[in-house]
Structure 1
């Protein structure tokens, strides 16, 4: 498994619309693309215009296949609502959820 961390700058006025576009995108990506396991949206408590989206994929290959395909329009909408600052790929060494 990998996690892909996208760092965004989203103006306060666009945050709600960005959040809705992110949710729509996440649903579509999970339904359409092999290896996609959803995403998390996080907001910086001290910088409300700074958000992270963290996607979980089976492999870097699955993630790269997604980006070389025709992306859903919601991806473009997110990019119009926010400025993508960085993208980093991390190998997941462990994943624990308490009961």
Structure 2
């Protein structure tokens, strides 16, 4: 016997309910989730790049990463990328750079 999706789904759900190991419920799924890259106003990606090229997560005590407030919006280039000093930091005493990309 060949069942279509709905028939198979209902058959499985009926069996699980009968065995008391499952129940029907509505499950909402996000089919599309738009994440647009922002030049300044997005959420900073909390990652650091060490001198040797390793990429590590920012320490929990450094979160959230705060964006500078004294930026100058004078073009299409990200004001964060235009200020190389903002990205400079250290990780366990090793020089590192904050990620300048945003979600």
Q: TM-score, normalised by structure 1?
A: 0.27
Q: Which has the larger radius of gyration?
A: 2
